[in-house]
Each structure stands twice: as structure tokens, then as C-alpha cells.
Structure 1
Amino acid sequence: MEATKVGIREFRADLAEYIAASSPVAVTRHGQTVGYFIPVHGQAEADLVALKKASQSLDKLLSAQGVDVEDIVADFKKARKKSTTAASAKAK
């Protein structure tokens, strides 16, 4: 797939258009390519599907081990509060 060449000012001015497009853009300055913009449409959806699958796997593992998620959250909050209190004491 051939990249469309555009000057940096045009790229900046029409950024929304290039984001919505599906072809890569070669950004130039004074005729020299300084970078490429490659849109990645659909990537967010794939990431979301992968995160949901990982979440389901984690839920199954925690359940199999008899771990209560609320206990983990409570432990995390305690540890966070302890580290925040320690950081505050060092700052004084």
C-alpha cells in the first residue's frame, strides 16, 4: 500500500481526515519525509475482546482457588493507604 505524501502543515490542518482514512501517510517537511502516520482501525475492538477473555480466565482462576475479589480489593486499599502514609511521612 502506497503512502500518501503530505506536508506537515497540511497534515496538522487535516488530521481528523487522515485519522479516519485507512491508508498510511508520509509526513514531509521541506520535501523530506519526517515520519509516517499509519491508522489502526479496529485495534481497540480487538483489544477489548482480548481483555474480556483475560478477565473471564482470571475470574475462573480466582474462583477455583477460593479467592474472594472483595478481599483482594480490601488488601490493595490497605497497602495503598500504607504507602501513601509512608510517603507523606518522608515528605515532612
Structure 2
Amino acid sequence: METKSVGIREFRAGLAEFIDNKQPVAVTRHGQTVGFFIPTARPAQADLQALRDAADKLEAVMALTEEEVEASVRDFDGLRKAAAARRRTPNSMK
């Protein structure tokens, strides 16, 4: 990807445009490069929705009572131990 070179005044004046662009910009002052601006991709709508969903799940977990949390931990430990036991047991169907 080619880097566009702009003066510092032009860069300040067009900052919003450079942010929305995907092309890196070399910022110059008196013809000398003083820095680079590399825009990053904005989160996609799906990413934002996934973050919202995760926040909703976190709020639901935070509302659990201590007994509910302990029961969930016991369930998780049981599932983890069962999965480990399955990995240790040789598959007799091979």
C-alpha cells in the first residue's frame, strides 16, 4: 500500500478524512517527514453486537447469588473432569 505524503497543516485540516481512509499518511513539516498516521479499522457492526451480547451475559452473571455461582463452578468442574477422563481413555473403536 502506498503512503500518501501531506504537510502538517493539510493533515490537521483533513484529519477526519484521513481517519476514514485506509491509506497510511506520512506527515511532513518543511518537506521532512515528522511522523506517520496509520488508520485502524473500525469495529464491524457484528463486533459491536458481540460486545453488547457479552456485556449482557456479564450483567446476568453478576446478578447471580453466591449459591448459584458455586453451583455453576461445580458444574464446570464436573464437565472439565469428564472431558479430561475422555481424553485419557483410549478409544476402543479404532
Q: Structure 1 length normalisation: TM-score?
A: 0.52
Larger helix proportion of the pair: 1
Match of 1:78 in 2: none
Q: What are the superposed Cα offsets for residues 21-64 of structure 1, whole Å, 9 maximum, x if unpaired?
A: 22111111122221222222423746633531331221231243
For structure 1, list consecutive stretches of 5 or more residues without a partner in the other structure: 67-92
Aligned residues: 66
Q: What secondary structure, in the 3-state scheme, does the structure 2 residue paired with 1:43 have?
A: coil
Computing the radius of gyration over CA atoms, which structure comes out larger, 1 or 2? 2
1:20 corresponds to: 20
Per the alignment, do residues 2 and 57 of structure 1 end up closer, same or farther by CA in structure 2, a change over 3 Å counting? same
Q: For 1:1-92, list aligned pairs within 5 A.
A: 1-43=1-43, 45=45, 48-65=48-65
Unaligned runs of 5+ in 2: 67-94
Q: Secondary structure at the match of 1:2?
A: coil
- Output the CA distance in 1 between the equivalents of 2:15 and 2:63: 47
AA aligned to 1:16 is A
Q: Percent identity?
A: 56
Query: How does the TM-score come out when normalised to structure 2?
Result: 0.51
